[in-house]
């Protein structure tokens, strides 16, 4: 939970000094870990703890958190770049929340200091009765300070369900579900194109006022995208909760890299790189975990090319999909993909129930490549097909 801090001017320098010390510690630890190829927490602690603490002047727990930050980032990303002084991890020894005074105590290099929280009723309700033991102190580009407090929320247990709602993500339609619900992305695309055009004109000026304007534009665009994704994810989880169903998404990892390899103009490349599908999935995942709705990831191969009726390879022409084999004509292509994702989601969530399989004995190898990619054995294997 993100909370704004009221920081007196005399303590801003102390926070900045602590952030710089923490970033310096992370960079030193990273160099040692890479040089000695040591990624074990205990071994790395013995190698760097004493030296890093002496050179940075950090508290003991700050150094321990720096080691955890480096190892955590090493597992999350392929290549770690230089750490910047923008955040510091806190635990129960360096962070304390006072519910009565609505303040937080944070241990800095100069000692423990107390800061007032500038929060609203939403945050107050979530913090009521809580005793949080971990947080992250952040500094924004605008020079403001926030603290992200980890709180424990009661969640309903997730279980297996034979009902799955498939969600197809895209740029033309932000999301389309197998229940025939869709969110058009034309308004979002117009807003992004408008901001892009304004940014291009402002960047040519290269003045101090233009840089301030660019920062404001970036914040507005990001907040608008976040607002759209929050609304969609809230409705997705609500529908799944009411139907007692799971939500199935395509696993679109590395989709940008594969799309950028194709020849496209500058505008299309920008639109693809601005596609916030991962943000939408993250928003949906944390809302679903609170509501007790299972989330399933399925392979994206051939979901948009496969007929949802007979699972043969059909023809997609823009927003329309047709299948010559079973006679399916002019179904919405995104809805067709969402139905395939739902069928794959059933097979992943409840493998004892066949969710997708070739319903006809065809001799087309490509017909069942979707089934082969998912690792699910088809009910009726076509002649000459030995995959799956």
Predicted confidence (pLDDT) per residue in 162-195, tens digit: 788 999 888 788 888 999 888 887 777 787 778 7
Place of tokens 């105590």: 105
- When pLDDT is averaged across residues 121-126 and rounded to a whole number, the result is 89
- When pLDDT is averaged across residues 297-312 and rounded to a whole number, the result is 83
- pLDDT higher than threshold 70 for residue 46: yes
Q: If DSSP codes are grouped into helix, strand and coil, which group holds residue 129? A: coil
Residues 286 and 369 in one domain: yes
pLDDT value of residue 355: 52
pLDDT value of residue 274: 65
The confidence band for 352, taking pLDDT boundaries of 50, 70 and 90, is low
- When pLDDT is averaged across residues 215-232 and rounded to a whole number, the result is 81
Residues 76 and 178 in one domain: no
pLDDT value of residue 25: 95
Residues 269 and 336 in one domain: yes
Distance CA 137, CA 117 (A): 12
Q: Which two tokens mark 309?
A: 């009726």
Q: Which domain holds residue 85?
A: 2-149
Q: What percent of the chain has pLDDT over 70?
A: 81
Residues 75 and 169 in one domain: no
Residue 169 within a domain: yes
Q: If DSSP codes are grouped into helix, strand and coil, which group holds residue 362? A: coil
Residues 33 and 144 in one domain: yes
342 C-beta neighbours (distance < 10 Å), count: 27
Residues 248 and 143 in one domain: no
pLDDT value of residue 194: 80
Residue 211 within a domain: no
| Alpha carbon distances (Å) from 322 to 2, 310, 317, 369 | 47, 11, 8, 18
Angle, helices 9-36/60-76, rounded to nearest 10 degrees:
60
Residues 165 and 81 in one domain: no
Q: Which two tokens mark 1?
A: 């939970």
Residue 68 within a domain: yes
- pLDDT higher than threshold 60 for residue 377: no
pLDDT value of residue 119: 92
* Residues in a beta bridge with 117: 5
- pLDDT higher than threshold 60 for residue 373: no
Distance CA 252, CA 298 (A): 9
For 92, residues 6+ apart whose C-beta sits below 8 A from its C-beta are 133, 134
Mean pLDDT over each residue of the chain, to the nearest integer:
82
pLDDT in tens, 236-263: 999 999 999 999 998 877 766 666 666 6
Q: Which helix (H) or strand (E) holds 261?
A: none
Residues 89 and 164 in one domain: no
pLDDT in tens, 79-96: 778 899 999 999 999 999
Distance CA 19, CA 59 (A): 12
User: Cα(first)–Cα(last) distance of the chain, in Å?
Assistant: 44
Residue 59 within a domain: yes
Residues 171 and 73 in one domain: no
Residues 60 and 88 in one domain: yes
State the alpha helices, DSSP H only, in 204-332: 208-243, 255-260, 266-273, 277-291
pLDDT value of residue 58: 93
pLDDT value of residue 268: 65
- When pLDDT is averaged across residues 54-81 and rounded to a whole number, the result is 89
Higher local confidence (pLDDT), 39 or 192: 39
The confidence band for 351, taking pLDDT boundaries of 50, 70 and 90, is low
- Residue 54 CA neighbour count, 13 Å, CB half: 4
Residue 207 within a domain: no
Angle, helices 277-291/208-243, rounded to nearest 10 degrees:
40
Residues 288 and 353 in one domain: yes
For 165, list phi and psi in degrees, rounded to 5. -100, 115
Place of tokens 């059909």: 314
Residue 250's closest CA among 293, 288, 299?
299
pLDDT value of residue 367: 42
Residue 276's closest CA among 349, 195, 192?
192
Residue 222 within a domain: no
Q: If DSSP codes are grouped into helix, strand and coil, which group holds residue 345? A: helix
């Amino acid at each position: 939970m993100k909370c704004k801090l009221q920081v007196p001017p005399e303590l801003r320098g102390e926070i900045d000094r602590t952030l710089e010390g923490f970033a310096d510690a992370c960079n030193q630890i990273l160099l040692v870990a890479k040089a000695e190829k040591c990624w074990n927490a205990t071994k790395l602690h013995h190698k760097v703890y004493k030296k890093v603490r002496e050179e940075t002047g950090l508290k003991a727990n700050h150094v321990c958190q720096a080691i955890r930050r480096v190892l955590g980032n090493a597992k999350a990303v392929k290549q770690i770049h230089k750490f910047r002084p923008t955040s510091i991890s806190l635990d129960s020894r360096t962070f304390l929340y006072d519910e009565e005074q609505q303040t937080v105590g944070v241990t800095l290099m100069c000692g423990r200091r107390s800061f007032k929280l500038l929060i609203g009723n939403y945050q107050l309700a979530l913090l009521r009765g809580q005793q949080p033991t971990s947080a992250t102190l952040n500094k924004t580009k605008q020079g403001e300070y926030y603290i992200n407090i980890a709180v424990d929320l009661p969640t309903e247990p997730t279980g297996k369900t034979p009902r799955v709602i498939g969600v197809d993500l895209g740029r033309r339609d932000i999301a389309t579900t197998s229940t025939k619900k869709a969110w058009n992305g034309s308004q979002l695309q117009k807003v992004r194109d408008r901001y892009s055009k304004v940014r291009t004109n402002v960047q040519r000026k290269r003045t101090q006022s233009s840089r301030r304007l660019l920062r404001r534009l970036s914040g507005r665009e990001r907040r608008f995208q976040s607002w759209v994704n929050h609304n969609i994810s809230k409705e997705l989880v609500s529908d799944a909760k009411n139907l007692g169903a799971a939500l199935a998404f395509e696993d679109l990892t590395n989709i940008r890299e594969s799309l950028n390899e194709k020849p496209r103009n500058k505008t299309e490349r920008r639109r693809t790189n601005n596609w916030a599908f991962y943000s939408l999935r993250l928003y949906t995942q944390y809302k679903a975990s609170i509501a007790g709705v299972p989330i399933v990831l399925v392979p994206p191969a051939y979901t948009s090319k496969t007929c949802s009726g007979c699972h043969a390879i059909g023809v997609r022409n823009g927003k329309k999909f047709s299948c010559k084999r079973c006679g399916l004509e002019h179904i919405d292509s995104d809805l067709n993909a969402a139905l395939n994702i739902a069928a794959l989601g059933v097979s992943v969530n409840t493998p004892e129930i066949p969710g997708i399989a070739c319903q006809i004995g065809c001799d087309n190898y490509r017909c069942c490549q979707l089934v082969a990619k998912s690792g699910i054995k088809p009910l009726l294997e076509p002649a000459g097909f030995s995959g799956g």
